[in-house]
Structure 1
């Protein structure tokens, strides 16, 4: 191994990045460091789904450290709340709260995740190799790999299902997969109904924070996602609960 060259992995602690690490250890691939960027809701509350955050800090990071892998945790200077309450500085909506991020053009992804990762990468040697957790059956994503980016999942013929099984066997499959097949913040506008229902049922304190934001005046948009306000989703879930209660009373 070239002493000057470094090998890192961008690790979300999802199945693909953890399977990449397991493959690296199994096949003797060089790996110096795992870099994890934690998006924050505010200065104290993580943007990770709470079950996944618990997994990262109580099982994921300790497991990598036992393997001898350095883990670097990054956080951006700005949080979801900073972006939500920031003011638009020009255009027809000047002075309004930026509010909910736009699906497909997420400022949270850009400012709270991509920027701190790129800032950290600039501190690394220019020939650093970055492992990216993309499975061999994700051909479109593999074609977008850049210079000095490598998929060990492709190299060792691992599909997404293979990655799942590797992590499950190692006891490193996040409990978040019980409610979703994707990674994402608990306030993500791309969250599926099942993910939102889980948040509503199991994390009412976080749900309440989103309703507080929905109630703020002067927002550039009232919509949480492409079609609904967060308060609309809340009302639908409440109605479902009321109907279920009536059904139980009648049974």
Structure 2
């Protein structure tokens, strides 16, 4: 049986550079697999600029190169997980609320599980290309030998090389203008600069998070390890007020 080769793609620089390298060097590639986490049934969990890039630029470009794209989505959404009720234990009946940093139920249920279900249908011996750069030594050591391969490491591409490779190909996501990482716009690991971008440019999404913060009876009020979402909102409002006063 001929081995199947798939690429895991988030449409960040490393995973896109992996696909570009595969095409440039004639590496076998049967399809690229992307799992989109959803905020609710209609709103993507991707930062809007990144989602527009994925569907408006990256997927059409890859399809023109002959790359088959598989898009996966879970039936579960962030809002459904957030508003679900605890079914046992001392917090039984409470709203599950914000996912825990480092133990994210959204990552588990909305991303990992759909991918695992998809992988069960793949033939034995399938090779998976993972976008880990040559200079990410610790992550490379965690690859499952033979079944998981880094083309970035094979061709000595650092993260900086991957970024430049994508830029030259016209396939660098616009999110790199304000962050150096990928992730959902409601991620508890988001940096303050990423949240500030959301606050400034996507007030509708910001308002949705404030609505969730206001739900009573939650297991936790904290959005991340130290702050409520309303705390972050107050910081940004104060910054805006200080800026306005300084300009007056």
User: Taking structure 2 as the reference length, what is the TM-score of the superposition?
Assistant: 0.98
Query: Where do 1:1-251 residues align within 5 Å?
Result: 4-147=2-145, 148-249=147-248
C-alpha distance in 2 between matches for 1:126 and 1:107: 29
Provide runs of 4+ in structure 1 moved above 6 Å. none
| 1-structure distance, mates of 2:69, 2:184 | 21
Structure 1 residues without counterparts, runs of 5 or longer? none
Q: CA deviation at 1:239?
A: 0.8
List per-residue Cα deviations over 1:10-64 (Å, max 9, x = no partner): 1000000000011101110000100000000000000000000000000010011
Question: Distance between the aligned counterparts of 1:132 and 1:115, measured in 2?
Answer: 17
SS in 2 for 1:238: helix
Deviation of the 1:84 alpha carbon: 0.1
Query: Tell me, which stretches of 5 or more residues in structure 2 are unaligned?
Result: none
Displacement after TM superposition at 1:126 (Å): 1.5
> 1 CA distance for matches of 2:13 and 2:169?
11
2:4 and 2:210 map into 1 onto residues whose CA distance is 45
1:76-96 deviations in whole A, cap 9, x for unaligned?
Answer: 110000100011111111110
Q: Equivalents in 2 of 1:171, 1:64: separation in Å?
A: 11
The offset of 1:4, in angstroms, is 2.8
Question: Structure 1 residue 121: deviation in Å?
Answer: 0.6
Corresponding residue SS for 2:162: helix
Give the TM-score normalised by structure 1. Answer: 0.97
How many residue pairs end up in the alignment? Answer: 247
